[in-house]
Amino acid sequence: MEEQDRSSSAQASSSSSSTGREFSGDAATSSSAFPVTEEAAAEEAEHRDLTRQQNGVSYHVHYPTEEAREISPLLREDAWSCMIVVFTFWFFVSMTLILGVYGSVSLQLGPNSSLLITPNTLFVESITVEQLDEAKNGPILYGFYKEPQADVELTWSQTHNTSLPSGFHKEWIYMLNRGSQINISYSVNSPSPSSIILIIAQGSEGFAQWLEDPSYPNTTLSWNIINGSGIIQQDILTSASYYVAVGNLNSEEVEVQLNLKVKAILYNTTEAYYNCAVACGMCNLKMLFPSGNAVVLTSPGPEQGTNVWQVQLSYGPRWLTYLVGIGGLTLLVLSAFYMFNNCQCTREEGTRFQFGEMRSERAPLLQKDDDLSSWGSSCDSVSQDDEDLEDELALGSLEGMPLKDGEYNNNIRRLCAICFDAPRDCFFLPCGHCVACFACGTRIAELTGTCPICRRNIKKVRRIFTV
């Protein structure tokens, strides 16, 4: 008897469970055979809480989203792109410093010149001066531990007699420091009253501007129309090279005599620890780092018989600075991208799941909806909003046309995204996504309980019937 009772109870239990499964998956049944009451739901909730307490504390698992997985390689590509940009930027900066700011330059030194050279020792390792002409007495290169004082005053004079044909000019160059002064007394000899132009231009740029338009007076430091005889005086406010030039804009040749008296301010070279005569060969001076030092290049007076000396000034680059600079910029960019990547990963919102109990590795990652009242067959009572959503989705999916197997086979977008065999003839509530056939949709609702598109909890699976 006991065995018969046990078999009967087992059959009843299996029949009850099978009936429950049939009612949960069948869309044609009008209502559930075993409605869930509030007391049963409360008991079930208490049972779940007790199970969680026994198994341990609930925990969260963070799974990076597809967007987060796509961002990581993009950041790596951006890092390489920025490194290439940094290398290119530093290359152009280095070339600008080596070939531009501290590149080789040809200098024209007039008599009694005193030129101070103070390069940045961070980028310059040495200075080389070479004489380009064949003058016997050339400039002298001096080296100082600190910048010398410009406290030597020297007054010297020079006379120029020149004949200017029509449309020609003649210039003389002088290297003068701040505080110097030029006094020019002139005399113009011409068979007819003729006027010529006498200018004092600062630098080669000012002189080139005057050559473009000799009759324009505002491009030079001093622009004068001279005739007969007179005196012109000009104070020097900036240390630079200055051009004294005369131009004949008349139609006949003119004789001009210029007597220059220059009060020059020179640098004191008595405390120099290094000196080298450029006429004897190339002079090279090492720059001290990091304290630095100063260099002064001087030229002889006009009594030596030479008015202009051509020299070439070259700077030796400090390669260690450029290597350290490019390495530092690279590390800076990598550090910035590393910090940005960490911030991006921290802020990235992933999918978080809460588990009440420990589950096996092959268990579904998505938890079923704990609200038992949301489960049931597709014919359970729903709210008015869900009914409206059902009608709208059903009409929108059908588009007024019957669903045929041939149409789904011709268009893969209408096939079930799970089995790729049956047409999509169901949709989930409340999200409304239509991605699976009714059989696969029912299995998804039973196993995971979440929509595979938006991960929202599935409360019902509605079937779409063809007409």
Kindly state the DSSP code that residue 148 receives in the 8-state scheme.
Answer: P
Per-residue confidence band for 41, with pLDDT thresholds at 50, 70 and 90: low
Contact 129, 139 (CB under 8 A): yes
Cβ atoms 405, 423 nearer than 8 A: yes
Mean pLDDT of 165-171: 90
Contact 140, 275 (CB under 8 A): yes
Weakest-pLDDT range from 84-88, 291-295, 374-378, 427-431: 374-378
At 14 the pLDDT is 42
**Does the pLDDT value for residue 106 go beyond 70?**
yes
Q: What percent of the chain has pLDDT over 90?
A: 29
* Mean pLDDT, range 356-366, rounded to an integer: 40
Beta bridge partners of 226: 196
The pLDDT of 419-444, averaged and rounded, is 89
pLDDT of residue 29: 36
Strands 240-247 vs 140-144: parallel, antiparallel or unpaired:
unpaired
- Supply the CATH classification number for the domain 105-317: 2.60.120.380
pLDDT at res. 173: 93
Mean pLDDT over 141-158 rounds to: 93
Q: Which CATH architecture has domain 364-463?
A: 2-Layer Sandwich (3.30)
Specify the DSSP class assigned to residue 289. T
Q: How confident is the model at residue 42 (pLDDT cuts 50, 70, 90)?
A: low
CA distance 3 to 355: 40
Give the neighbor-by-neighbor strand order of the sheet with 124-131: 105-109, 309-317, 124-131, 283-286
In the block, tokens 């000799």 appear at 214
Task: Tell whether the model's pLDDT for residue 351 goes beyond 50.
Answer: no
Lowest mean pLDDT among 54-63, 275-284, 289-298, 331-340: 54-63
Mean pLDDT of 402-415: 57
- Other C-beta atoms lying within 10 Å of the C-beta of residue 367: 16
Please say if the pLDDT value at position 65 is more than 70: no
Select from 182, 194, 299 the least CA-distant residue to 243: 182
Q: Are 414 and 404 in contact (CB under 8 A)?
A: no
Residue 28 has pLDDT above 70, yes or no: no
- Let me know if 398 is exposed, middle or buried by CB neighbors in 10 A (0-12, 13-18, 19+): middle
| pLDDT value, residue 448 | 84
pLDDT band at 74 (very low <50, low <70, confident <90, very high): low
67 pLDDT more than 80: no
Distance (Å, whole) CA 311 – CA 308: 10
pLDDT band at residue 77, thresholds of 50, 70 and 90? Answer: low
- pLDDT at position 21: 38
Higher per-residue confidence, 460 vs 31: 460
Average of per-residue pLDDT across 238-250? 91
Nearest Cα residue to 158 out of 262, 254, 233, 256: 262
Q: Is the pLDDT of residue 370 over 60?
A: no
Give yes or no for residue 33 having a pLDDT over 50: no
The arithmetic mean of pLDDT across residues 12-27, rounded, is 39
pLDDT value at 158 more than 60: yes
Q: What is the DSSP letter of 134?
A: -
Q: How far is CA 460 from CA 326, 352, 414, in A?
A: 62, 23, 21
Q: Which whole number is the average pLDDT over 415-443? A: 89
Please choose, from the candidates 241, 233, 237, 298, the residue with its C-alpha nearest in 3D space to the C-alpha of residue 261: 233
Query: Which token pair is 150?
Result: 């410009």
**Positive or negative torsion for Cα 226, 229, 233, 238:** positive
Structure-token pair, residue 432? 């409304």
Q: Are 444 and 408 in contact (CB under 8 A)?
A: no
In this prediction, residues 66-91 reach a mean pLDDT of 65
| The pLDDT of residue 414 | 80
Identical fold between 105-317 and 364-463: no
Q: What is the largest CA-CA distance in the chain?
A: 156
> In the prediction, which pLDDT does 19 show?
38
For residue 153, the model assigns a pLDDT of 93
Q: How many CB atoms lie within 10 A of CB 18?
A: 10
Average pLDDT, the chain: 75
Instruction: Tell me the Ramachandran region of residue 20: left when phi exceeds 0, alpha when psi lies from -120 to 50, beta otherwise.
Output: alpha
Residue 129: its H or E element: strand 124-131
Instruction: Write down the pLDDT at residue 98.
Output: 80
Averaged over 375-385, what is the pLDDT? 42
Does 237 have pLDDT greater than 50?
yes
List helix spans (H) across 256-383: 319-347
Q: Name the most confidently modeled range: 92-101, 299-308, 407-416, 456-465.
A: 456-465
Where do the DSSP E strands lie in 132-190? 140-144, 152-164, 169-176, 181-189
**Residue-wise pLDDT tens digits, 257-309:** 999 999 999 999 999 999 999 988 899 999 998 888 899 999 998 877 778 89
How large is the average pLDDT for residues 50-64?
Answer: 45
Element (H, E) at 106: strand 105-109
> Taking residues 393-406, what's their average pLDDT?
45
Greater confidence (12 vs 315) lies with 315
Q: Where are the domains positioned within the chain?
A: 66-100+323-347, 105-317, 364-463
Most confident of 18-27, 325-334, 348-357, 438-447: 438-447
